[in-house]
Structure 1
Amino acid sequence: MENTFKTIDEYILMFPMDVQGKLLELRKAIHTPISDLEEYIGYQMPAFKYWGKPLVYFAGYKKHIGFYPGAEGIKSFEKDFKERNYKFSKGAVQFPINEKLPIDLIIRIVTFRALAIEQKKS
């Protein structure tokens, strides 16, 4: 069965209320350091563009929220993920659904990604 959501709001509404709250909190954190982000659905996930370039994605799952800042975003914050015991791979990190979201870390990652995009365009 293919999902037909077209907006991040529609995506978030697919989840139970407690998960919706976390997804909304994550969305707000992504917007915190950069107000002029473009929201869209990419790869069937909520996604954000900055200066026309993909910035980050996220997705809800049964036991975690996947956050996708790309390989650079993961590599640069690997130490933080290890310290907090988060599962991560080359391009993604998992925030357990039953734990508080690391808002400070999310904001740092989003800021890092935005600066990387700005530097590539300069």
Structure 2
Amino acid sequence: MSMQPKTVDEYLDGVDAERRAELERIRVLVKRLVPSAEETMSYGMPTLKHGGLALVYFTASKKHRSLFPSSWAIDELRDGLEGHTTTQHAIQFTLENPLADDLLEDMVRVHPRENDAGRE
């Protein structure tokens, strides 16, 4: 991708089919859990927002994919992330070791719950 994509679709158009399928899986799952989620690009990454705040970001690189949920979700669900490289804000996963749907769902649910409770 030589130019910065302006939409999530433009970003995904620049990702090879195998990696794109995994990012689309995340996109669909998040939209199913949070139908009001707004798609946008932020920091050069596909972003889904809830209540005007970033819910998750996701990206693809040659060696792995990354999901950026809230740091609250990573802290709360750290036990389920064994086998994945994590930072304070990101989870790296591969096609061989993807994030399980139930773990991804739990990650996505943390942020709206915490935002709705007034956490910033």
TM-score, with structure 1 as normaliser: 0.89
Q: Deviations over 1:29-56 (max 9, x none)?
A: 1112110001100000000110111111
Long gaps (5+) in structure 2: none
Bigger Cα displacement from structure 2, 18-27 vs 92-101? 92-101
Moved over 3 A (4+): none
CA root-mean-square deviation: 1.6
> 2:89 maps to what in 1?
91
Q: Tell me the distance in 1 between the aligned counterparts of 2:101 and 2:14.
A: 23
Long gaps (5+) in structure 1: none
> 1:80 maps to what in 2?
80
* 16 and 71 in structure 1: CA distance in 2 versus 1, 3 angstrom threshold: same
Q: Retained in 2: the 8 A contact 1:74–1:91?
A: yes
Partner secondary structure for residue 6 of structure 2: coil
Residue 101 (structure 2) aligned to one of 93, 100, 103: 103
- Which protein, 1 or 2, shows the higher relative CO under an 8 Å CA cutoff with sep ≥ 6? 1
Q: Retained in 1: the 8 A contact 2:72–2:110?
A: no
Q: Retained in 2: the 8 A contact 1:63–1:97?
A: no
- Number of residue pairs matched by the alignment: 119
Partner secondary structure for residue 33 of structure 2: coil
> 1:32 maps to what in 2?
32
Q: How high is the sequence identity, in percent, across the aligned residues?
A: 26
> 2:115 maps to what in 1?
117
TM-score, with structure 2 as normaliser: 0.91
Q: Tell me the distance in 2 between the aligned counterparts of 1:101 and 1:90.
A: 17
Partner secondary structure for residue 107 of structure 1: helix
Partner secondary structure for residue 85 of structure 2: coil
Q: Deviations over 1:50-88 (max 9, x none)?
A: 011111111111121100012212111111002xx1110
What residue identity is the alignment partner of 1:109?
A: M
Q: Tell me the distance in 2 between the aligned counterparts of 1:70 and 1:100.
A: 18
> 1:48 maps to what in 2?
48
